[in-house]
Every structure is written in C-alpha cells, then in structure tokens.
Amino acid sequence: MRTLFLDIDGVLHPEHCHDSRHFCCLPVFEKVLHKVPDCEVVITSTWRLTVPFHGLRSRFSPNMAHRIVGTTGKFSSLADVPSSLLSYEREAECYAWLRRNDRAIFPWLALDDRAWLFRPFNRSLFLVDGKTGITTARADELIERLRNL
C-alpha cells in the first residue's frame, strides 16, 4: 500500500485564494488517484485542525472519499520526535502517522507546497507551486512518482 500525505492550501487550490476557488484543483488530484488505485491519502493540511475528518472527506467525490483514511497528528502533541525532525514539523507528523498505523516500512510521498516543512532534499516530497496548486502538467509527474514508490 502506498501512502500519500496531502496538503490542501497551495495544493488543491492556490495559496491565499478566494473561498470560491477552494478545491479548484481537486479534479486534477482525483485523476491522479484514479490512475494509482492502491494509494491511500492522509491529510496533513492545517485544515485538519479546524475541520472534522468527515468534513474533509466530504470534499472529495464519493468514489474517492473512501481513500482518505486519516489525518496526521499535531506536531506539538507528538511524542518521541527524532532530533533530526525537530525542525521539520510536517515530515515529523508524517513519520508519526506511519509509525502509529504500522506503515513505517511502506513507501510514502508527501504532496505539499512548503519545502521548509521537510528536510532538505527529501525524496519523499513532491513539491508543487503554491501559487497554482497541482496542475495537469504536474499530475503526470505525480502519477509516475507514486507508481514508482
């Protein structure tokens, strides 16, 4: 099983866009999921701190919502964060979720627009431009990365 950690702002819509544009890139993202059927999705976005899990999951189409399997914990509540991850909150949250869910040995990828939340040169990060979110052009790259995990 492949795990994709998903940010929302800057990925499923441009960062700081008007509410009317929220989730405008979701169709592109769902096409990626359609092409990689053995990939589960975990929400890492700060949206998870204010929107209940069922509310996040309901944003996705019914045939994709079941693949949204959880959210990461908040960095400040994590125990036993390795010292190498203390400065990289989102990566630490991903690792904690993997450990807690017996997925530590399985391949994973984080889809995000903020490189500084992960260690430099992290091969498990797929970075998108927060001004655009995930685009059709980048979707093919993401599909390939996920298939090659």
Question: CATH number, domain at 97?
Answer: 3.40.50
pLDDT-flagged residues of the chain (< 70) = none
According to DSSP, the β-strands at 2-6 and 108-112 are parallel
> Nearest-CA neighbor of 43 among 136, 142, 111?
111
d(CA 76, CA 143): 32
Residue 80's pLDDT is 80
Domain span at residue 71 reads 2-147
Spatial neighbors of 58 by CB under 8 A, at least 6 apart, are: 65
Cα 31 from chain centroid (whole Å): 15
Residue 82's pLDDT is 81
Record the pTM.
Answer: 0.95
How many domains is the chain partitioned into structurally?
1
